[in-house]
Amino acid sequence: MKTILVTGGSGLVGNAIKTVSHDYKFNFIFLNSKMCNLLDYSETETFFNKTKPHYVIHLAANVGGLFKNMNQKVQMLEDNLNINSNVLKCSHKYNVEKLIACLSTCIFPDKTGYPINESMLHNGPPHDSNDSYAYSKRILDIQCKSYNSQYNTNFVTIIPTNIYGPFDNFNLDDSHVLPALIHKCYLSKRDLVPFVIKGSGKPLRQFIYSTDLAKLIMKILISDIKESLILSPNEEYSIKEISESIAKEFDYTNDLIFDSSFSDGQYRKQVNNSRLLELFPDFNFTPLQTGIYETINWFNKNYSSTRK
Distance CA 12, CA 241 (A): 23
**Which residue in 55, 133, 237, 252 is the catalytic one?**
133
**What is the SS3 assignment for 205?**
strand
Question: Sign (positive/negative) of CA torsion 291, 169, 56, 20?
Answer: negative
What number of H helices and E strands is found in the chain? 10, 12
Q: Name the DSSP class of 164.
A: E
Question: Which is nearest to 58 in space by CA: 153, 149, 125?
Answer: 153
Distance CA 145, CA 149 (A): 6
Active-site residue flag, 293 = no
Which amino acid is it at 300?
N
7 close to 56: Cβ distance less than 8 angstroms: yes
Q: Which residues have a catalytic role annotated? A: 133
